[in-house]
Amino acid sequence: MSLEVRNLNVTYYVGKASMNAVRDVSFSLERGDSLGVIGETGSGKTTLASAIMRILPPNANASGNILLNGEDILNMDIEKFRKTVRWKKISIIPQYSMNSFNPIKKVGEQLVKIILEHEPNTDVHSAVERVMKLFENLNLPPETFQKYPEELSGGQRQRAVIASALLLNPELVIADEPTTALDVINQARVISLIKTRIVDTGHTLIYITHDIAVVAGIAKKIATMYAGKIMEIGDSKKIFKEPLHPYTKGLLASVPDIRYGKVKKIYYIPGDPPDMTKPFRGCPFAPRCSLAKDICREEEPQVRLVNGRLVACHFADKEVIKNV
């Protein structure tokens, strides 16, 4: 599997206004890669996921290329995409599982139907077996098969959604804030299942979250997004050890550390992200960046390679950043 996102732009149109929610995003992933996409609310993470899955709302327009194994799936005929790519090669675990199932049909029945629709040569008996096996792998009791979605707890329902995402054994799974609606115990459970059943089994994963602590345990690579752009992308261990973009530094510094019974003073990045319906000049992070110089307010930095990472900052390779 290879995924190459090239110069992806997504614009939303609302009345006379337009907003560039994803701006010139490029990155690539290989089989078995796991990418954590982190960023504040409104930075464009879900829009990026929706563009890859081609589930953008009608008021959005996407341009650029998304190559899956060399084939451009963004510009592919939508019927062909539905039949050959969505769920079969790429699936998504959404934030809220409530809408993922038809409320008036039993969960098992719905999952079997998906298999039979996509794989007409599979018989009902083996489809049922496959669903039961997945339930077992995801620690869901066999009775789940006969239950209606509303009879499941939030944690069980989100695990049933993971089952549906893995049903056709896709090459790429996108998890978009999959634990948002869950309590802490179920969050930990779902994260652990995503690690053992998706990452450790060689699928490729894109994991979208506000929670940097989660991606530390799952993602081999990290991308930080801000104002629709990737600010920094690279090896997660290196980024955790030495973030190069001031925005990445700010995000990492905002993680509470409660080890050894001590609570570190919690840092937050001052100010707010820009209003993307209005034009701006320079680096979108400049108004919040303590290091911003004149050039940052005038010229938007292009993504460039620094220490094996891609970073969009004029000063990413300068001493000044290292000393922040």
Residues near ligand ATP (CB under 6 A) are: 12, 14, 19, 21, 39, 41-47, 57, 59, 210, 276
Tell me the closest approach of the beta carbon of residue 45 to ligand ATP, in angstroms. 4
Q: Is 131 helix (H, G, I), strand (E, B) or coil?
A: helix
Quickly tell me which residue has 């599982």 as its tokens.
97
Nearer to ligand ATP (CB atom), residue 13 or residue 151: 13
Tell the smallest beta-carbon distance from residue 276 to ligand ATP (Å).
6
Instruction: Kindly state the smallest distance separating residue 44's Cβ from ligand ATP, in Å.
Output: 5
What's the CA gap between 172 and 3, in Å, rounded? 9
Strands (E) across the chain are located at 2-14, 17-30, 34-38, 60-68, 71-72, 90-93, 172-176, 204-209, 221-226, 229-235, 304-306, 309-311
Smallest gap from Cβ 190 to ligand ATP, in A, equals 17
Complex with ligand ATP: residue 59 or 307, whichever CB lies closer: 59
DSSP for 199-236, please give it: ITTT-EEEEEES-HHHHHHH-SEEEEEETTEEEEEEEH
Q: Least distance in Å: CB of 225 to ligand ATP?
A: 7
Quick one: 90 or 107, whose CB is closer to ligand ATP? 90
CA-based nearest residue to 205, from 166, 158, 254, 251: 166
Cα of 297 vs its chain's centroid, Å: 29
- The least distance separating ligand ATP from the CB of residue 20, rounded to whole angstroms, comes to 9
Q: Which residue in the block uniquely carries the two structure tokens 């948002």? A: 180
Burial class, 95, CB count within 10 angstroms (exposed 0-12 / middle 13-18 / buried 19+):
middle
Cβ(8)–Cβ(60) below 8 Å: no
Nearer to ligand ATP, 269 or 276 (CB): 276
> For ligand ATP, which is the closer residue by CB, 7 or 69?
7
Rounded Cα distance between 95 and 32, Å, is 23
Least distance CB 265 / ligand ATP (angstroms): 25
108 vs 250, which CB is nearer to ligand ATP? 250
| Closer residue to ligand ATP, CB minimum distance, 43 or 248 | 43
Task: Give CA–CA dist 123/270, Å, rounded.
Answer: 58
Task: Pick the closer one to ligand ATP by CB: 90 or 131.
Answer: 90
Contact (CB, 8 A) for 176 and 208 = yes
Q: How far is the CB of 228 from ligand ATP (least distance, A)?
A: 7
Q: What angle do CA 133, 92, 215 make, to 5 degrees?
A: 95
